[in-house]
Structure 1
Amino acid sequence: MGLGAQLIQWDEEFCQLLAEQGHHVVRFDNRDSGLSTHLHDQGVPARGAPSAYLLDDLADDTAGLMDALGWQAAHVVGASMGGMIAQALAIRHPDRVLTLTSIMSTPGPSVAPPTEAALAVLMTRAAPDREAALAQAVRNWSIIGSPGFAPDPEKIAERAALAYDRCFDPDGTARQLAAIMASGDRTELLAGVRVPTLVLHGEADPLVPIEGGRATAAAVPGARLVTYPGMGHDLPRELWPSFVEEIAKLTTG
């Protein structure tokens, strides 16, 4: 999943739709999120200081998880920062990736800069308590979410409550953001990716604008780009059937 997001951001119903296509679906927390390892001793990254880790390290974490599962290779799907990690995994461990699906992501942070409003969300100070965190989540998703699909504030607040109660670590999110910024651009390296690749992106994404998806698809030889009018930086329930259909087409070859 993406920046600061936990595995529960992959909705169980969405995962079930993939499982119904015959897949064994595994969702997981990246380091510094959820119930994964948190680098508390690293503190909050100082401006200009070296990052505690890079996206390449998160890709290596993913390969390590596959080792623990006993999986030689897998169909890899990543959203936002997760898409960046999936790209890095395909670059660093090509034998572990059967297919690559990069959703609302980009080859590098400078390829598709966020809008001013979305950047303000990214830089919002962490909420001081649970109630404020839920209100902040509803507000933030109203800005970066999909303008073409009606938001469900109650559902957003419910998921935010689950995430807060499971793990609340804004410093970890800051370390992940530092990793994104320190990892540079993958465009040239993506030219060496040879696995079947799908790129899904919203045409109304303010956080990672559509140029990020176009650049990803252009960088990977033979990649297929599918864009969605009205989709922002989230995964609208109304589009799940299309996402699953596109992923299934990719994985079944």
Structure 2
Amino acid sequence: MIDKSMDAGSMTVVAVHGIQGTSASWKSVAEACAAQASFICPNLRGRADALRGQGPGDYRLSRFSQDLLNITRNRLDDRPFILAGWSMGVSVALEYLQHNDRPQPCGLILLSGSPRPGVASWFRQQGDELLVEIAEREKRLNLAMAADHQAVAWTWEELQQVDHTASLESIRLPTLIIHGDADPDSPLEHARWLSEGIRDAELRIIAGAGHSLLTENTAVVAQYINAFITKLYHAQERP
């Protein structure tokens, strides 16, 4: 529950990047939402200055979820927080929520993601051709900073069998889902799987938007996030 003595500007958002992104992915949205919240944007393993794994097993969602746990325990000081994820960050957030013994968020924001990332069309190749495809997608998404290509390949290998569909109904958090209706990587159907599975989730669809919502649709995304944060506080103020 949100502490009513806090104002909206003191809310913390822990924001998780995508499979090829880094903490830089959230920079423009964090700046646009600065009046409403402060953002903690960690680099998961294999990204920027974070630790490197030695093989696919080091890039399972359970390992990313553990990275996220270290952040919530070490940097939040028991402050309430919203958990946000973009693209693969959605899968990391959903994995994190399956563990009730961890610090739990007071709200959830999911962008451009899927409960079944293995059936999304992020990549189609294997082996050396996959590494080439990763480099090409990096350019297409116009990522300011990008993850190590081998780390991405191993992460994608581990995501193939992930399916959070059955666990969505157990989520009892105010949830905002933002998705572009022209997303070629996670088609709109994936957002509907999320919104239909999570009780009372709010789905916001951005017309004509693709996968890179954080950088290409910053103003609209920030508007929806700011409104969501305000709604959380107003809900707590009701008797």
Q: Is the TM value for this pair above 0.5?
A: yes
TM-score tier by shorter-chain length is 0.7 to 0.9
Whole-angstrom distance in 2 between the partners of 1:60 and 1:125: 26
Quote the residue 2:35 is aligned against: 20
**Which residue number corresponds to residue 152 of structure 1?**
none
Within the alignment, does 1:216 sit opposite 2:194 as a pair? Answer: yes
Report what 2:83 is aligned to: 76
Distance 2:123 2:164 in 1: 22
SS of residue in 2 equivalent to 1:232: coil
Whole-angstrom CA distance in 1 between matches of 2:104 and 2:69: 7
Q: Where does residue 198 of structure 1 map in the other structure?
A: 176
- Counterpart position of 1:247: 228
Q: What 5-or-longer segments of structure 1 have no aligned partner?
A: 46-50, 128-132, 142-155
Match of 1:149 in 2: none
Question: How do 1:112-191 and structure 2 match up within 5 A?
Answer: 113-114=120-121, 119=123, 124-126=130-132, 137-138=138-139, 140-141=140-141, 156=142, 160=144, 163=145, 169-182=148-161, 184-191=162-169
CA distance in 1: counterparts of 2:171 and 2:196, whole angstroms = 12
Contact 1:17–1:244, Cα closer than 8 Å, also in 2: no
Q: 1:10 to 1:215 in 2, by over 3 A?
A: same
> C-alpha displacement at 1:238, in angstroms?
4.3
TM-score (norm. length: structure 1): 0.73
Determine the C-alpha separation between the residues in 1 that align with 2:228 and 2:159: 25
User: Is the 8 Å Cα contact of residues 202 and 227 (structure 1) preserved in structure 2?
Assistant: yes
Structure 1 pair 24–136 and aligned structure 2 pair: CA distance change class (3 A):
closer
Conserved? CA contact 1:63–1:96, under 8 Å? no
Q: CA deviation at 1:169?
A: 1.8
Aligned residues: 210
Q: Please give the alpha-carbon distance, in whole angstroms, between the structure 1 residues aligned to 2:137 and 2:199.
A: 40
Give how far 1:32 is off: 1.4
Alpha-carbon deviation of 1:37? 1.0
**Identity of counterpart residues, as a percentage?**
20
1:124-182, CA deviations, whole angstroms, 9 ceiling, x for partnerless residues?
5349xxxxx6x8744x23xxxxxxxxxxxxxx4xx54xx26xxx621111122123224
CA distance in 2, matches of 1:178, 1:37: 19
Contact 1:7 1:29 in 2 (8 A): yes
CA separation of 1:250/1:56 partners in 2, compared to 1, >3 Å: closer, same or farther? farther
RMSD, matched Cα:
2.6
> What one-letter code is carried by the residue in structure 1 that aligns with 2:26?
W
SS at match of 2:117: coil
In the alignment, the residues of structure 2 paired with residue 121 and residue 206 of structure 1 have an alpha-carbon distance, to the nearest angstrom, of: 16
Query: Which sits farther off after the overlay, 231-240 or 95-104?
Result: 231-240
Structure 2, unaligned runs of 5 or more: 1-16
Q: TM-score, normalised by structure 2?
A: 0.77
Counterpart of 1:69, as a letter, is R
Q: Is the 8 A contact 2:73 2:103 kept in 1?
A: no
